[in-house]
């Protein structure tokens, strides 16, 4: 009895395919054991929350709390002091401003400073004063050096009944390094204004 190849070929192919699939599938217990070896990882599909700008956060500890920081100022910076003038009202005469500067332009000090060097040819003492009396007044300006040397002796005349008067004196002899002082006195020698300034050592 002959078999029809059109029937037997598909049958053989189906048997071989079934045998291959049954060998490739692992036993149920092995599949479960393999699944246990890989731990599950939880993920989220939600977008990351935006930080709330109004929420106050505790500031991080400053570095100085962990490591001791070096001093913030150098010795040279500490030596450069800023001086405030000593001003006094006397007999209707009132000093409102006293500054030192390397220049005066437009009846105002330019680059007011308490520190001068060899490049500064002059040191100006700028004064703003009011005179409420009915008489003209005179101010006498001196520049006193670190060794007691005196320069200046400039007279500044203040008219009577002047609500605001700006004037100045200068010296070109403040060349000795050290602490200097401007002194302003009235006619009888009473001190009405004083201001220290420094002259640096030349290179």
Q: What is the pLDDT of residues 111-134, one digit of tens each?
A: 999 999 878 889 999 999 999 999
**The predicted structure's pLDDT at residue 137:** 94
Q: Do 127 and 193 contact (CB within 8 A), yes or no?
A: yes
**The predicted structure's pLDDT at residue 72:** 45
Give the domain ranges of the chain. Answer: 82-199
Strand partners, 158: 137
**The predicted structure's pLDDT at residue 8:** 63
**The predicted structure's pLDDT at residue 203:** 53
**The predicted structure's pLDDT at residue 5:** 60
Q: What are the strands, taking DSSP E only, across the chain?
A: 86-87, 89-90, 93-101, 103-105, 108-110, 115-116, 123-131, 137-144, 150-158, 162-171, 178-185, 191-199
What is the CA angle 196-202-203, rounded to 5?
Answer: 145
**The predicted structure's pLDDT at residue 84:** 86
The closest of 167, 142, 162 to 92, measured between CA atoms, is 162
Name every residue whose Cβ is closer than 8 Å to that of residue 165 and which is 6 or more positions away in sequence. Answer: 128, 129, 130, 131, 158, 159
Question: Is domain 82-199 in CATH 2.70.50.60, yes or no?
Answer: yes
pLDDT digit string (tens) for the chain, length 203 residues: 555 666 666 666 666 555 555 544 545 545 444 444 444 444 434 444 555 554 544 544 443 333 344 444 444 444 556 788 888 888 889 999 999 999 999 999 999 999 998 788 899 999 999 999 999 999 999 999 999 999 888 999 999 999 999 999 999 999 999 999 999 999 999 999 999 999 998 75
**The predicted structure's pLDDT at residue 153:** 86
Say how far apart CA 50 and CA 54 lie, in whole Å.
12
Question: Where would I find the H helices in the chain?
Answer: 5-24, 28-37, 75-79
The closest of 187, 193, 3, 171 to 98, measured between CA atoms, is 193
Q: Do 167 and 156 contact (CB within 8 A), yes or no?
A: yes
Q: Give the three-class secondary structure for 2.
A: coil
Q: Give the three-class secondary structure for 152.
A: strand
**The predicted structure's pLDDT at residue 20:** 53
């Amino acid at each position: 009895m002959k078999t029809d190849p059109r029937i037997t070929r598909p049958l053989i192919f189906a048997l071989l395919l079934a045998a291959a699939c049954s060998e490739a599938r692992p036993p149920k217990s092995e599949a479960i054991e393999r699944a246990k070896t890989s731990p599950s990882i939880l993920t989220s599909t939600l977008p990351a929350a935006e930080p709330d700008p109004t929420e106050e956060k505790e500031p991080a500890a400053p570095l100085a709390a962990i490591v001791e920081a070096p001093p913030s100022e150098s010795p040279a910076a500490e030596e450069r002091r800023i001086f405030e003038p000593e001003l006094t009202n006397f007999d209707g005469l009132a000093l409102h401003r006293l500054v030192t500067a390397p220049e005066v332009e437009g009846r105002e000090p330019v680059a007011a400073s308490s520190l001068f060097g060899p490049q500064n040819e002059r040191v100006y003492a700028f004064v703003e004063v009011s005179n409420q009396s009915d008489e003209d007044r005179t101010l006498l300006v001196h520049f006193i050096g670190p060794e007691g040397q005196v320069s200046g002796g400039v007279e500044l005349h203040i008219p009577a009944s002047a609500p605001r008067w700006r004037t100045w004196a200068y010296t070109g002899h403040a060349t000795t390094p050290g602490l200097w002082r401007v002194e302003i006195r009235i006619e009888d020698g009473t001190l009405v204004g004083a201001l220290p300034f420094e002259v640096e050592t030349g290179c």
